[in-house]
Amino acid sequence: MIKKRLLLATTNRGKVREIKKILRGLGFKIESLAEYPEFGTFKERGKTFEENSRGKSLFYSQKYPGLVLAEDSGLEVEALCGKPGVRSARFAGPKATDNQNISKLLRLLRYIPPEKRQARFVCVATLTQNGRLIKSFKGQVRGKIIATPLGRNGFGYDPVFYYPPLRKTFAQLTAEEKNNISHRGRALRKLRKFLEKSWK
């Protein structure tokens, strides 16, 4: 039997790891952009996660014969009026590393007291096929930015994103624990339900 194909349209290995776990068992052959360097790179120019997520997914779905799932995500910090937001990946510069982004964030927050360090992660995941939009799904999670990175798991801003109900940063959680509560886990479980119900 030929398996249904689904492209995870991302170059971020942390995202691929987490999303593959959530979509396990649906019967799709799941691929990522690492296998399709010839597809090129989508330039994110949108002002919202929704816009970038849709744009990214539609861009790759014109090249791939199957379902395409792209997601745009990021961190919004209240004391910084929502920054880094859609610029989370390139906050400290176009090719910034996770450490450089975290350093910039902590520098900007250095005079902000603990009680004013609220933040949220947001994820918008979009399904497309043959250049057509199917549906977008959103998830978010609230936490606080701590002054000293803690933990070695996850990626991006996880070491400084503290989740009060578990008294841990996201980088101190296992992949399963993070998926249970994260913005990505929440958006992707909605998407999974949609696929189970409407995509036979």
Give the interface with ligand ITT as residue ranges (CB under 6 A): 10-12, 15, 44, 72-75, 88-89, 101, 121, 154-158, 170, 182, 184
> Per DSSP, which regions of the chain are E strands?
4-8, 28-32, 67-77, 118-129, 132-145, 161-163, 168-169
Question: 153: which 2 tokens?
Answer: 């798991």
Nearest residue to ligand ITT, using CB? Answer: 156
Give the CB-side neighbour count of residue 12, counting CA atoms within 13 A.
Answer: 18
Write down the least CB distance from residue 195 to ligand ITT, Å: 19
Query: Could you confirm whether 158 is annotated as catalytic?
Result: no
- Hey, which residues does 75 pair with through a beta bridge? 121
Write down the least CB distance from residue 1 to ligand ITT, Å: 30
Identified catalytic residue from 54, 55, 60, 72: 72
Write down the least CB distance from residue 42 to ligand ITT, Å: 7
DSSP assignment letter at 47: S
Cβ proximity to ligand ITT, 113 vs 156, nearer residue: 156
Cβ proximity to ligand ITT, 4 vs 120, nearer residue: 120
Question: 134: which 2 tokens?
Answer: 């199917």
For helices 13-22 and 183-198, the axis angle rounded to 10 degrees is: 50
Cβ proximity to ligand ITT, 83 vs 184, nearer residue: 184
Write down the least CB distance from residue 151 to ligand ITT, Å: 11
- Say if CB 172 and CB 153 are below 8 A apart: yes
Give the CB-side neighbour count of residue 132, counting CA atoms within 13 A.
Answer: 5
- Say if CB 157 and CB 102 are below 8 A apart: yes
Cβ proximity to ligand ITT, 67 vs 89, nearer residue: 89
Q: Annotated active-site positions, please?
A: 72
